[in-house]
Amino acid sequence: MQKEMSALYRAAIWNNTASLAVLETAPLTKELAARHRLSEGAADALGRVLTCTAYLCGWIEERESYIVSVNGNGLLGKIHAFGNGELRLCGSVERDLAADRQADLLSCVGTKGYLSVVRGGGKGLPFSGMCALAKGDIAADFTAYFEESEQRPTAIGLYEGGGVFVQPLTGADESVLLRAREAVQSCLPSMSVREILAAFGAENAEKRPVSFGCTCSREKAERAVLSLGEDAARAVLASEGELSVHCHECNCDYDFTQEDINALFAK
């Protein structure tokens, strides 16, 4: 059976006055929820941040990347997502206090904090933008971010497992943004991607796969161990029996035995 994949669909609409993007991110969210053993509320909040991050990454080159943080002092603490121009993404939450509760999105995210976006990996200095959280419902927060930090007004509609983004193109008049907001609001969570594309007259949209991808590796874990120094690494081994480097983004561990440490510091 073929594995279900997340995807980004993009097309120019309304006589090339606006850009449409439809994200299907349920499979990616499901994988990360399983990796981090997230509650339903935490998975929904992280999924919405991942959806917006995937939309951002759809605009950049392969070597570039985005780091997105939503810190509203809610039940989840900081919600973090990373993605690159290849549309490979990962993410995590600081804590999952929504577990065993019927917590709504607002309680999970919180409203007393900020949304931070950092773009790097390209030519020149990294770009960073930040804005205060608008309402804690992610869609409104990213709408405020695009308008305040990037001066690119964007109509955004998010739902569990995906989202719709409509951005007026350069030269479009005010009526296009008003139309975009109305059109996005008319998209229902029960609609399929095909139905949403058809509603915008974008049946032949470009499709790109969106997948899980973490930047961690055995080599990076080795560098982290080396940065501890040999004495500290051996002290951990003596007390714990092994040394483990944990990646918070994909929730995996890189374990180092006595033999591994001997070989690492003998290089």
Nearest residue to 145 via CA among 129, 162, 157? 129
In single-letter form, the type of residue at position 267 comes to K
In single-letter form, the type of residue at position 254 comes to Y
Return the bridge partners of 245, or none. Answer: 254
CA–CA gap between residue 249 and residue 255 (Å, rounded) = 17
Residue 236's contacts (CB-CB under 8 Å, 6 or more residues apart) are 228, 243
Nearest residue to 253 via CA among 262, 243, 263, 261? 243
pLDDT tens-digit map of 207-225: 999 999 988 889 998 899 8
Give the strand pairing for 65-71 and 206-212: unpaired
**Consecutive H or E run containing 88:** strand 88-93
**What is the model's pTM?**
0.89
Largest CA distance in the chain: 68
pLDDT tens-digit map of 154-199: 999 999 899 999 999 988 999 999 999 999 999 988 999 999 999 9
Q: What is the 3-state secondary structure (H, E, C) of 188-229?
A: CCCCCHHHHHHHCCCCCCEEEEEEECCCCCHHHHHHHHHHHC
